[in-house]
Chains A and B, each alone.
Chain A
Amino acid sequence: MLLQLFQTLENGAIGTAVRDSLWLFPVVEVFHLIGLAVIGGAILVVDFRLLGLGLRGHPVSRLARDVQPWVVGSLILMIASGVPLFLSEAVKCYYSFAFWTKMTALLLAIIFTFTIRRSVLFAPAGRFAPASYRAVALTSIALWSTVGWGGRWIGFS
Chain B
Amino acid sequence: MSIRAAVEWLANTEWSIALHESQYAYATIESVHVWALCLFVGFAVLLDLRLINAIFRDVPVSDMARRLLPWTKAGFVVMVISGILLFYAIPLRTYLNIFFRIKAVLLILAGLNAFVFHHGIYAKLPDWDVGVTPPRPARVAGMCSLILWAAIVFSGRMIAYNWFDCGKPQPGLISAAAGCTAADIDPYR
- List residues of chain A with CB under 8 Å of any chain B CB: 22-23, 26, 29-30, 33-34, 36-42, 44-45, 48, 53-58, 62-63, 66-67, 70, 145, 148-149, 152-153, 156
Instruction: Report B-chain residues with C-beta under 8 Å of the C-beta of A63.
Output: 56, 59
Report the 7 A-B pairs with minimum CB-CB distance, sorted nearest first.
A41-B42, A40-B38, A37-B41, A40-B42, A156-B27, A30-B154, A152-B31
- Tell whether A62 pairs with B31 under 8 Å between CB atoms, given A36-B37, A48-B71: no
Can you report 20 A-B residue pairs in the complex whose CB atoms are below 8 A from each other? A26-B157, A29-B157, A30-B158, A33-B34, A37-B41, A37-B149, A40-B37, A41-B38, A41-B41, A55-B64, A57-B63, A58-B59, A63-B59, A66-B55, A66-B56, A66-B57, A148-B34, A148-B35, A152-B27, A152-B31
B30 located at the interface, meaning its Cβ lies under 8 Å from any Cβ of chain A in the complex: yes
CA distance A145 to B39 in the complex (A): 11
CA distance A30 to B149 in the complex (A): 12
CA distance A54 to B39 in the complex (A): 12
Cβ of B159 to closest chain A Cβ, rounded Å: 10
Instruction: Report A-chain residues with C-beta under 8 Å of the C-beta of B43.
Output: 41, 44-45
- Tell whether A34 pairs with B153 under 8 Å between CB atoms, given A62-B58, A145-B35: yes
Instruction: Report B-chain residues with C-beta under 8 Å of the C-beta of A30.
Output: 153-154, 157-158
A45 touches B45 (CB 8 A): no
B188 located at the interface, meaning its Cβ lies under 8 Å from any Cβ of chain A in the complex: no
B121 located at the interface, meaning its Cβ lies under 8 Å from any Cβ of chain A in the complex: no
Instruction: Report A-chain residues with C-beta under 8 Å of the C-beta of B58.
Output: 58, 62, 66
- Tell whether A55 pairs with B27 under 8 Å between CB atoms, given A37-B41, A38-B42: no
Cβ of B66 to closest chain A Cβ, rounded Å: 10
Cβ of A29 to closest chain B Cβ, rounded Å: 6
B31 touches A54 (CB 8 A): no
Instruction: Report B-chain residues with C-beta under 8 Å of the C-beta of A54.
Output: 67-68, 71
Cβ of B131 to closest chain A Cβ, rounded Å: 15
What is the number of contacts between chain A and chain B, taking CB atoms within 8 Å? 94
B67 touches A36 (CB 8 A): no
B55 touches A67 (CB 8 A): yes
Cβ of B111 to closest chain A Cβ, rounded Å: 18
Cβ of B165 to closest chain A Cβ, rounded Å: 14
B157 touches A149 (CB 8 A): no
B59 touches A55 (CB 8 A): yes
In the complex, per-residue mask of B22-61: 1 if CB is within 8 Å of any chain A CB, else 0: 0000010011001101110111111001000001111100
B35 touches A149 (CB 8 A): yes
Q: A36-B38, A48-B71, A66-B58 are in contact. List 20 more A-B contacts (CB 8 A).
A: A22-B163, A23-B163, A26-B161, A33-B34, A37-B41, A37-B42, A38-B45, A40-B41, A41-B45, A45-B42, A45-B46, A45-B68, A54-B67, A57-B63, A58-B59, A62-B58, A63-B56, A67-B55, A70-B49, A149-B35
CA distance A70 to B50 in the complex (A): 13
Cβ of B83 to closest chain A Cβ, rounded Å: 14
